[in-house]
Amino acid sequence: MNRIQTRLEEKSKILSVYFTAGYPALADTAPIIRELEACGVDMIEIGLPFSDPLADGPTIQESSTVALKGGMTSKKLFEQLKDIRVDVGIPLIIMGYFNPILQYGVEAFCQSCAEVGIDGLIIPDLPLEIYERDYRSIFESYGLFNIFLITPQTSEERIRQIDAASKGFIYMVSSASTTGAKTSFGEAEQSYFKRVEAMKLRMPLIAGFGISNKATFNDATAHTRGAIIGSAFIKHLTSCGTGHIADFIKQIR
């Protein structure tokens, strides 16, 4: 069974953390993963840096720029993750744009993911129809879950299409803006969370974008199975380096 599915069958709320591979320094990827698991994080999204990250806010964009300048590539990431499953058991997901995956070769990328123990992919610019027509069989042959995103603007019909096609969970983007930390959610976000929760979807929901602290984590997980923290964690790495990850996680739950 896929590790994502196994973890979602547990009852507690999921804390997932996103960080950019190769940031703050090229060699930091695997140590950050190990430290996050040691701190009790339930799932990790490893950002594959890209030169034109349209959905990302300035914090993640800057981390991608630094990682790329430092030498991070898809090939380098798989080299860094080669032995990660020796001592890391939680689900690992690669989040990135489709262009680097195409350049690597879609099947070759999926094979490399399977070889190092990646459980799923989040590719914001890969449309559902293209995935189902051209790539679903490849992803599934390597045991990878492809995670789709919904936003406040996604229609109910489209949400149900995504729900029917999904495995693992649905990534519930909290707002229509790019990624970035917020200190609280307003009435619009709360209404959106409640509206989608009331649809009683087949797939669990995990919220992302704008979750930065205990308050926003609790707000998001009141209506979902879990929440993803990205920009706030990267800001912490920028300010404090990799030596104080436990301090950050303790502030969330």
pLDDT, one tens digit per residue, over 21-60 is: 999 999 999 999 999 999 999 999 999 998 876 667 789 9
Exactly one of 28, 37, 42, 56 is catalytic; name it.
56
Burial zone of 187 (CB within 10 Å; 0-12 exposed, 13-18 middle, 19+ buried): exposed
Residue 176 has pLDDT above 70, yes or no: no
Burial zone of 100 (CB within 10 Å; 0-12 exposed, 13-18 middle, 19+ buried): middle
* Pairing mode of beta strands 226-229, 14-20: parallel
Structure tokens at 148: 């789709």
Residue 187 has pLDDT above 60, yes or no: yes
Task: Work out the average pLDDT over 123-139.
Answer: 97
Do 42 and 202 meet the contact criterion of CB atoms below 8 Å apart? no
Task: Work out the average pLDDT over 161-182.
Answer: 79
Can you give the pTM of this predicted structure?
0.94
pLDDT of residue 180: 44
Q: Scanning the structure block, which residue is given the tokens 């990790």?
A: 44
- What tens digit of pLDDT does each residue of 54-91 get? 667 789 999 999 999 999 999 999 999 999 999 999 99
Structure tokens at 235: 């800001």
pLDDT of residue 11: 81
Q: Strand, coil or helix: what is 73?
A: coil
Residue 203 has pLDDT above 90, yes or no: yes
Whether 56 sits among the annotated catalytic residues: the reply is yes
Do 107 and 138 meet the contact criterion of CB atoms below 8 Å apart? yes
Q: Scanning the structure block, which residue is given the tokens 């995670």?
A: 147
Do 84 and 117 meet the contact criterion of CB atoms below 8 Å apart? yes
- Of 3.90.1560.10, 3.20.20.70, 1.10.3720.10, 3.40.190.10, which CATH number belongs to 13-247? 3.20.20.70
Q: Which residue in 118, 44, 36, 135 sits closest to 74, CA to CA?
A: 118
For the chain, give every domain's residue range. Answer: 13-247
Residue 181 has pLDDT above 50, yes or no: no
- What tens digit of pLDDT does each residue of 214-253 get? 999 998 999 999 999 999 999 999 999 999 999 999 999 8
Residue 165 CA, distance from chain mean position: 18
Whether 45 sits among the annotated catalytic residues: the reply is yes
Task: Report the DSSP beta bridge partners of residue 170.
Answer: 205
Structure tokens at 24: 């703050």
* Cis amide bond preceding 24, omega within 30: yes
Contacts by residues 124-127 (CB-CB < 8 Å, ≥ 24 positions apart)? 124/55, 124/95, 124/97, 124/149, 125/54, 125/55, 125/97, 125/98, 126/98
Exactly one of 37, 42, 45, 189 is catalytic; name it.
45
pLDDT of residue 184: 60
* Alpha carbons 39 and 36: distance in angstroms, whole number: 5
Q: Band of the pLDDT at 175, cuts 50, 70, 90?
A: confident
From first CA to last CA, the distance across the chain in angstroms is 28
Q: Please enumerate in sequence order all residues whose Cβ is within 8 A of that of 168, keeping only pairs 6 or more positions apart, or say none.
A: 2, 4, 5, 8, 119, 120, 145, 147, 203
